[in-house]
Structure 1
Amino acid sequence: MTTSNNDGLPDDTEDDYTLSLGENQTLIIVSNRQPYSHQYETGDEGNKKITVDRPAGGLTAGLDPVMQRVSGTWIAWGDGEADRDVTDKDGTVQMPPEENAYTLRRIWLSEDEVEGYYYGYSNRVLWPLCHGGIWKTEFAERYWQRYRQVNETFAKVIDEQTTPTSLVWFQDYHFALAPRLVQESAPESTFLLHFWHIVWPGWDTFRACPQAKTLLDGLLGNDLLGFHIDRYCENFLDCVDKELEDAFVDYDDNRVRYDGHTTRVESFPMGIDAATIERTADSVSPSFWSEFAREHGFDRETQVAIGVDRLDYTKGIVERLDALERLWEMNPEWQGELTYIQKADKSRSRIPEYQNLQQNVETAVERINDRFGTDDWQPVVYIDDWLTDEELRGLYRYGDAMLVSAVRDGMNLVAKEYVAAQVDCDDRDQNPNLGEDCSEQSGNDMESAICGVLVLSDQTGAHEALGEHALTANPYDTEAFAETIEQAVTMDDAERRERMTALREHVASNDIYAWMDDIFEATQ
């Protein structure tokens, strides 16, 4: 069996980071996505072998090294084609492969369950509902029944793992019903914690859901319910106040008393693994930008704006392309002088809304390139190939501006990743731990990089903290958005450095480890 690379905690965190669990407390993480999956791979001689894939980023990658330190159990859907072959009769396997530090308990779902629970209710009802897209929801009864069924399945497995000293941490919108089910059967001293990683909508939106009361009842089985920002907490409390007649909502202390149980509702703005991203960006090859430009067919000497997104209708990619098209139209001097690179990852392609979006994005790219492109320059470089961590963070580092134009986003961690990768904005004399690659970028074979500019939609949770030093964009105001992009790529170096330095200080101080500390301290 082979394994992918596992860096663990960042170097400057590895020796001193300790999760703030209570005495004798054991951690159970519950997520839809598993931290490792097992796949079949055909060897050189045609024989099949089993390999281990680990998510390159995101929450699972951030929590994995923490679980390695505290042991415990991780419960998730086993979606890898070879997952069953490496688990015992109880569906468990020790992870990571090279250390066996904690237990991964896999849950097996049928194709019908996946279609109804994941592609159906989770992503055709809850996802659009929470992001304000009521017209995109599909309230099919079969989706709801599968969602209930899968939540019940997870709850039963959680019950098997739970002890009086367990802390059960539910992740995201896939498990709105499970907390109540577990709360009814678990020992009273078991602590139930839930983090809702997406937006929680206002009452006028949420009230459209036929299952609104049951969803709220399920989430109020938690002892602590976390959201990214205060506004989502307020929205949730309003929904409870309006929907559940028997609930007492304490807006001053952010608590709900319901069915004999008290739930605290608090905000915990999620961070990223800033140290690791910074370290990777700082170590990219001196010739990276030239090689990347040659491979993807653009002139590295032009100004370069970038976007990095899942192909999701909440990310505002079409709106961003409209603004860029308007900029090239109204200001022809930028034709041949500004290149836009869109890194896009296909997502949930089995859902028609996502298929339509993918087609709309590709159509917009073709239209813009046909309209403005020349033999020597194309305005939009579209990349849907997989990029390594080094390539992605190198793209972040050398992009003159990052355009984040989500029309609704719970947080948006890509904006923070871009900031963390802006290592050329640091004073090298004051930061001896950073590499020396950029200290003499004016000569030899070194690439040239300056401080980037973050253009950030005011519809993201990240705007609450980063908006002061980013340039703010309304993705629906095409004319103003185009002007903001031009402001970003014409900003002088002093202002760039001042803005990005402030952003980097915030992102580094409020990273994923600070986020986890805040959450677990709140459970004590």
Structure 2
Amino acid sequence: MNVSDVSSSLSNRRASASERDGRSTQTTDDVVVVSNRQPYRHEYDDEGGINVSRPTGGLTSALDAAMRERNGTWIAWGDGSADRDVVDDEGHVTVPPDEEEGTYTLNRVWLSDEQVENYYLGFSNRVLWPVCHSMLMNVHSEAAYWQNYEAVNDQFVDNVARHVGESTIVWFQDYHLSLAPRMLESRVPDGAFLAHFWHIPWPGWDMFRACPHGEEIIAGLLGNDLLGFHVPRYGENFMECVEQTLPDADVDRDAAEITFRGKTTTIKAFPLGVSVDTIRTGAKSEAAESFWSEFADEHHLDEKRVSVGVDRLDYTKGIPERFEALERLWEDSPEWRGALTHVQIGSKSRSEIEEYMDIQTEVEEEAARINERFGTDEWEPIVYTTAHLSDEALYGAYRHGDIALVSPLRDGMNLVAQEYVAAQGDDDDAVLLLSDQTGAHDYMGEWTVTVRPQNTDEFASAIDDALRMPASERRERMRELRNRVEDADVSRWMHSVFETIAEMQTAGTGGSDGE
């Protein structure tokens, strides 16, 4: 696909869409999703053609499906190399590509290098991310971070306001856009509904009080009619922070409602799930089996027990603590040397930030050191890879892992735990070891082996227990986990959010007051 083909197709499809539903590019939508990350990215290939990367991950895929049903608008940062060359003058492109039905509008927001450096890498990921994950030693704040964070939130709001009518639902995603709801509130008509889902933990007051500009963050979020978290305790933490930060706010903990500056915000937990059917089908696919067969042969995994870890290379994920527990196991229980291999799949993230570069180096060096200490010609204790894996390959790795080590130091929910469960077959007897510092543990902990990442001896003992657990107990635990994950998959999560919004609208408890 070349640029001229894309531009022609874009013009024709947008014109036909306008004729079909009577809308112009600046008329209102039923639903507007607003996020930092975009669902589709256009990139140039080596020959100058344009490739389109499609949604990856359960959340993005689920939101994409919902937007296709509603023919709404998704507003996000356009960061692909060819993104500017496929949009119209207002930054719009119809997605998914090459489809006439079930499409929606992607409205791209353009950020300068300075904005990316300060809004995204700076305030979002060097202030809010470590504060919310209780990692205050990694907080670094500069004036330019906040200035750009404010400016980019305002820039997003400029785009959102053009699409909002009296009955529009605006759904903000995550911590990059905490100021936008309050900014938008006075710029939309009466009846527009503003919602926000916070995908990371919300810490207690003793932690959040260290957040630079914390009062503005909270006030911004209270521009929403509905504010969602993964688990109830995050919502309780948020209400505590409001009480401590905004003395003029009226916090009704029993009703889970906060009234501030004439606006009432409902606080509610919506536990996010995964796309169970997609993962289950992928785990059984020929591609999954082919990948694992080659991978197992390359790393001599036949006849060995396998533990698996899948993580972004982030300092919150507890990977060094996991390696330390494995080292302690091989040290104290030599019968597992040559018998247990840990497969660690890592994906690099935010490498421009020093703390992320440090953890990536530490993980690589620790894997090499442990392999040097215990490894033999026929056995590599830790198989560590940062190679990009297809979804099917990843699901195949889950399916063949006898145990999974999911041990973040802090995590809002953790979808890897649920993906691992979803990949197992009806009679599989895999065991999930799960950190009690994840939101997922609130819902799944009864049937997992609970670990505390910082307690090395306890963690090593938990791995040993999981490996020695009777098959009948393993099957029972996994059966219960499968039921739990199936009952709360990503489509039900989304249905729950929209059902709550509909109930609030019917009851007259949501909707902007406008100006």
Q: 2:244 aligns with which of 206, 231, 242?
A: 242
Identity %: 53
- What does 1:49-448 align with in structure 2 at a 5 Å threshold? 49-99=49-99, 101-284=103-286, 288-295=291-298, 297-425=299-427
Partner of 1:505: 483
* Alpha-carbon separation, structure 2, partners of 1:496 and 1:218: 46
* 1:36 correspondence with 2:40: yes
* C-alpha separation in 2, matches of 1:289 and 1:222: 46
Return closer, same or farther for 1:25/1:159 CA change in 2, 3 Å cut-off: closer
| Contact map agreement 1:456 1:473 (CA 8 A) in 2 | yes
Aligned to 1:516: 494
Query: Which residue number corresponds to residue 16 of structure 1?
Result: none
Distance 1:494 1:292 in 2: 29
Could you report, residue by residue, the CA deviation over 1:43-99 in whole angstroms, capped at 9, with x for unpaired residues? xxxx31011011321422221111111110000000000001100000000000022
User: What is the CA-CA distance between 1:301 and the residue it aligns to?
Assistant: 1.3
TM-score w.r.t. the length of structure 1 is 0.89
- Root-mean-square deviation (CA, aligned residues, Å) is 1.4
Q: Distance in 1 between matches of 2:160 and 2:123?
A: 21
SS, match of residue 154 in structure 1: helix
Contact 2:29–2:73 (8 Å) recurs in 1? no
> Equivalents in 2 of 1:287, 1:118: separation in Å?
38
Distance 1:235 1:99 in 2: 44
Cα distance in 2 for residues equivalent to 1:192 and 1:174: 16
Residues of 2 paired with 1:318 and 1:471: CA distance?
19
Match for 2:311: what amino acid? D
Q: Is the CA contact (8 Å cut-off) linking 2:29 and 2:164 kept in structure 1?
A: no
* Counterpart AA for 1:35: P
Give the aligned residue type for 1:38.
H
Q: Distance in 2 between matches of 1:418 and 1:515?
A: 18
After superposition, the C-alpha distances for 1:182-220 in whole angstroms (9 at most, x for unaligned) are 001111210000000000010011111230111111000
Mapped contact 2:132–2:200 kept (Cα < 8 A): yes
Q: Is the 8 A contact 1:298 1:339 kept in 2?
A: no
Contact kept? 1:298, 1:381, Cα under 8 Å: no
What is residue 508 of structure 2 aligned with on the other side?
A: none
Q: CA deviation at 1:390?
A: 1.1
Shift of the alpha carbon at 1:127?
Answer: 0.1
CA contact (8 A) 1:223 1:262 kept: yes
Structure 2, unpaired ranges of 5+: 3-27, 503-515
- Whole-Å separation in 2 of the counterparts to 1:313 and 1:298: 30
Per the normalisation by structure 2, the TM-score is 0.91
Matched residue SS, 1:32:
coil
Match of 1:486, SS state, is helix
The AA in structure 2 aligned to 1:504 is R
- What is the alpha-carbon distance in structure 2 between the residues aligned to residue 492 and residue 122 of structure 1? 45
Task: Indicate whether 1:468 and 2:446 are aligned.
Answer: yes
CA distance in 2, matches of 1:500, 1:203: 36
Q: Tell me how far 1:25 sits from its aligned partner.
A: 7.1
Find the aligned partners of 1:131 and 1:494 in 2 and give their Cα distance: 37
Supply the AA of the counterpart residue of 2:48: K
Secondary structure of 1:161's aligned partner: coil
Which ranges of structure 1 fall in alignment gaps of 5 or more residues? 3-23, 426-449
In the alignment, the residues of structure 1 paired with residue 53 and residue 285 of structure 2 have an alpha-carbon distance, to the nearest angstrom, of 24
Task: Using the TM superposition, give the Cα deviation of residue 288 of structure 1 relative to its aligned residue in structure 2, in angstroms.
Answer: 4.8
| CA offset digits 1:133-153 (Å, max 9, x no partner) | 111101211101100000000
Contact 2:407–2:453 (Cα < 8 Å) also in 1: yes
What is the rounded CA distance, in whole Å, between the counterparts of 1:398 and 1:62 in structure 2? 26
Contact 1:200 1:235 in 2 (8 A): yes
Tell me how far 1:106 sits from its aligned partner.
0.2
Deviations 1:367-394 (A, max 9, x none): 1000000111110000110111111000
- 1:424 offset after TM fit, Å? 4.6
Contact 1:192 1:224 in 2 (8 A): yes
Q: Which amino acid aligns with 1:179?
A: P
How many residues align? The count is 475
1:445-499 residue CA offsets vs partner (Å, 9 max, x unmatched) = xxxxx42100000000000011000000000100010010111112221111100
Question: How far did residue 302 of structure 1 move?
Answer: 0.4
- Determine if contact 1:289/1:300 at 8 Å carries over to the other structure: no
User: CA shift at 1:289, angstroms?
Assistant: 3.3
| Letter matched to residue 487 of structure 1 | D
Letter in 2 for 1:408: R
Q: Is the 8 A contact 1:55 1:61 kept in 2?
A: yes
What is the Cα deviation at residue 414 of structure 1? 0.3
The 1:399–1:70 alpha-carbon spacing in structure 2 relative to 1, beyond 3 Å, is same
Q: Moved runs in structure 1, 4+ residues, more than 3 A?
A: 284-289
CA distance in 2, matches of 1:499, 1:215: 41
Structure 2: how far apart are the matches of 1:190 and 1:287?
50
SS of structure 2 residue aligned to 1:377:
coil
| Pairwise CA distance, 1:513 | 0.8
Partner AA of 1:292 in structure 2: F
